[in-house]
Amino acid sequence: MKSLEEEENLQKIGGMEVLFATSVWLISTIFTGLAILGGILGYLYGPYWGVRRVPGPPTIPLLGHLPLLAKYGPDVFSVLAEQYGPIFRFHMGRQPLIIVADAELCREVGIKKFKDIPNRSIPAPISASPLHQKGLFFTRDARWSTMRNTILSVYQPAHLASLVPTMQSFIESATEKLHSSKEEEITFSTLSLGLATDVLGQAAFGVNFGLSNTHSIGTSIKGEDNDDEVSDFINQHIYSTTQLKMDLSGSLSIILGLLVPILQEPFRQIFKRIPGTMDWKVERTNRKLSGRLDDIVAKRMKDRERGSKDFLSVIMNAMESEAVSKNVFTPDYISAVTYEHLLAGSATTAFTLSSIVYLVAGHPEVEKKLLAEIDGFGPPDQMPTAHDLQHKATNQMLLFICSCLLVNQLSSFGKTNLPMDFVYLSVFQMQAIKEAMRFYMVSPLVARETSRDVEIGGYLLPKGTWVWLALGVLAKDPQNFPEPDKFRPERFDPNCQELKQRHPYAFIPFGIGPRSCIGQKFSLQELKLSLIHLYRKYVFRHSPDMEKPLELEYGIVLNFKNGVKLRVIKRT
């Protein structure tokens, strides 16, 4: 029999064992808890830690600086640049962006250190959309450079020039409806979106969407041959594009992706199966859109007789003649890159055309000079050629100087208005376009991501840092653009002091370096042609129904919240 003492000892040992087991459990629970907390904090604050030395406003957990975006809207980066200088941190949820708001630093990121920063970061709305990921915009490294080099062949001057008649015919039908002796009010931004989408539809796919005939976007759109397929396609394109929101108004998975990116994909997989949710609709639309695009590509691939005028044909012909591109341009990439042209080119060009016409409507002195230049292109029924668009004004100027020399009246050169107006306007048509693009910069931020550790503006940025160039802030910097809120095309006159003193990279609406916009010449050609056609016959005035100043909203690019409403007046 055990003595009482032994039993007490056994009980003590048992108690100690329980205590020990409890302590081990408690400690391991605490450590697990701490590890989970550390993991969560590491996940949420890890990206911040690497760039913590870059200045920036205090952040709100999870939301980051999104409330500032809600408070200031598109101006938020100008406000922060004033406070924190040319390079600062802005947190989209947990994701820090290093915002570069200085022309020289933009040159460093976009050009000088391109090999360290060659790709774009992929924001939440895009990572939820495979359709939008395989275009040129978001492909990376070697695949990107092969794709870009092949696509560049499409932008040879000869090919662009061959597109002039196509562009003209769409512009004509878009402006046909304006034919009316009485003054008429229109939502110009709707007209310009229809026009730009039609031009791109024809140029990219060789398909006539027929939007310019109806002036209605998203409703009762019919193709040339009454094709409901076309109308569906366009509705899907517009829906899919407008859902790519950069604020907190997108689908649930996109909002989660902005706040906690790791949750985006699992939640997208769940929500896309729940009928009625925005994720479900976006998924359905994108699937249909991809299916249609793949069909078009497959059909065209079989078609030996394909024409060589549209982008899709050119890219397939190039692909067939180059072994390298074949592996890069698989059918899904061809669909994506072709679709991307519609996406990247329509909203941007349409927005720019609307802003020019809106701004000119509010500035009669600018309008007068523009009309003088446009009337100088020749009689209203004479169509300008691609060559005219680039050289006509210069030629007219030379002709004038020659005639002055012939009649020995060079002194009259300075007295008459004609050639000076031409200088002002030929360059001016460009000056007006540039100034409108500066005033309302359609793509005020462009994205980059570091591929290795790199030093920018005195800060060492780790590999994987998102670096965004604030083109919109540069365009409103009073050092480069005195009185930045005034619309003054003359500030782009090559002879003016303001331009001579300006940093060469202060105005870069098409981006910078090897990743700059591939469609720049295409859109400028379309803009110039559209302006010539419009102003030969009409002038525009602001509608009394339109808010002042115009309200803007952030999508993948900037947009007019309530459209641009204008009164059309036929010129006599």
Query: Which residues does the annotation place in the binding site for heme?
Result: 517
Of 167 and 423, CB closest to ligand HEM: 167
Q: Please state, in angstroms and rounded to a whole number, the distance separating the CA atoms of residues 208 and 225.
A: 9
Q: Is 288 in the site for ligand HEM (CB under 6 A)?
A: no
Helices (H), 362-495: 364-375, 386-406, 418-439, 471-475
Stretch that binds ligand HEM, among 71-79, 361-369, 515-523, 562-570 (CB under 6 A): 515-523
Of 246 and 260, CB closest to ligand HEM: 246
Of 423 and 470, CB closest to ligand HEM: 470
Q: Is 559 in the site for ligand HEM (CB under 6 A)?
A: no
* Interface residue with ligand HEM, options 150, 192, 253, 523 (CB under 6 A): 523
Token output for 88: 């600062």
Of 297 and 336, CB closest to ligand HEM: 336
Token output for 486: 């005034």
Rg (CA), the chain: 29
- What number of CA atoms fall less than 13 Å from residue 333's CA on the CB side? 21
Q: Is 348 in the site for ligand HEM (CB under 6 A)?
A: yes
* Cα–Cα separations (whole angstroms), residue 531 to 168, 214, 421, 440, 560: 11, 20, 17, 17, 20
Q: Which of 72, 398, 102 is nearest to 247 (CA)?
A: 72
Q: Which of 434, 527, 433, 524 is nearest to 480 (CA)?
A: 434
Q: Is 340 in the site for ligand HEM (CB under 6 A)?
A: yes
Q: Is 47 in the site for ligand HEM (CB under 6 A)?
A: no
Q: Please state, in angstroms and rounded to a whole number, the distance separating the CA atoms of residues 192 and 485.
A: 24
Q: Is 338 in the site for ligand HEM (CB under 6 A)?
A: no
* Interface residue with ligand HEM, options 233, 424, 505, 522 (CB under 6 A): 522
Stretch that binds ligand HEM, among 125-133, 503-511, 530-538, 548-556 (CB under 6 A): 503-511
* Interface residue with ligand HEM, options 107, 134, 300, 515 (CB under 6 A): 515
* Interface residue with ligand HEM, options 211, 517, 532, 550 (CB under 6 A): 517
Q: Is 148 in the site for ligand HEM (CB under 6 A)?
A: yes
Size of the residue set binding ligand HEM (CB under 6 A)? 24
Stretch that binds ligand HEM, among 258-266, 377-385, 416-424, 513-521 (CB under 6 A): 513-521
Token output for 351: 């927005």
Site mask for ligand HEM (CB under 6 A), range 207-246, x = bound: ----------------------------------------
Of 243 and 443, CB closest to ligand HEM: 443
Instruction: Report yes or no: 91 and 59 within 8 Å, Cβ to Cβ.
Output: yes
Q: Is 511 in the site for ligand HEM (CB under 6 A)?
A: yes
Question: Restricting to residues 118-137, which ones interact with ligand HEM according to CB under 6 A?
Answer: 136-137
Q: Please state, in angstroms and rounded to a whole number, the distance separating the CA atoms of residues 228 and 225.
A: 9
Stretch that binds ligand HEM, among 240-248, 293-301, 338-346, 381-389 (CB under 6 A): 338-346
Task: Give residue 430's identity as a one-letter amino acid code.
Answer: M
- Cis amide bond preceding 549, omega within 30: yes
Q: What minimum distance in Å lies between the beta carbon of 403 and ligand HEM? A: 37
Q: What minimum distance in Å lies between the beta carbon of 28 and ligand HEM? A: 50
Token output for 467: 């670096």
**Strands, sheet with 538-542, edge to edge from the N-terminal-most edge strand:** 184-187, 565-570, 538-542
Q: Please state, in angstroms and rounded to a whole number, the distance separating the CA atoms of residues 61 and 379.
A: 63
Q: Is 509 in the site for ligand HEM (CB under 6 A)?
A: yes
Q: Is 438 in the site for ligand HEM (CB under 6 A)?
A: no
Of 210 and 511, CB closest to ligand HEM: 511
DSSP secondary structure, 67-124, as one string? HHHHHHGGGHHHHHHHHH-SEEEEEETTEEEEEE--HHHHHIIIIITGGGS-B----H
Q: What minimum distance in Å lies between the beta carbon of 343 and ligand HEM? A: 8
Of 53 and 140, CB closest to ligand HEM: 140
Instruction: Dihedral sign for Cα 82, 86, 87, 91, please.
Output: positive
Q: Is 109 in the site for ligand HEM (CB under 6 A)?
A: no
Vertex 176: Cα angle to 173 and 178 (nearest 5): 140
Q: Is 354 in the site for ligand HEM (CB under 6 A)?
A: no
* Interface residue with ligand HEM, options 100, 442, 546, 558 (CB under 6 A): 442
Q: What minimum distance in Å lies between the beta carbon of 530 and ligand HEM? A: 11
Q: What minimum distance in Å lies between the beta carbon of 513 and ligand HEM? A: 6
Vertex 526: Cα angle to 520 and 528 (nearest 5): 100
Q: Please state, in angstroms and rounded to a whole number, the distance separating the CA atoms of residues 127 and 265.
A: 9
SS3 337: helix
Token output for 506: 């202060």
Of 256 and 315, CB closest to ligand HEM: 315
Stretch that binds ligand HEM, among 80-88, 187-195, 343-351, 530-538 (CB under 6 A): 343-351
Of 282 and 471, CB closest to ligand HEM: 471
Q: Is 356 in the site for ligand HEM (CB under 6 A)?
A: no
* Cα–Cα separations (whole angstroms), residue 530 to 272, 350, 523, 560: 41, 11, 10, 20
Q: Which residues bind ligand HEM (CB under 6 A)?
A: 136-137, 148, 340-341, 344-345, 348-349, 352, 442-443, 446, 509-512, 515-519, 522-523
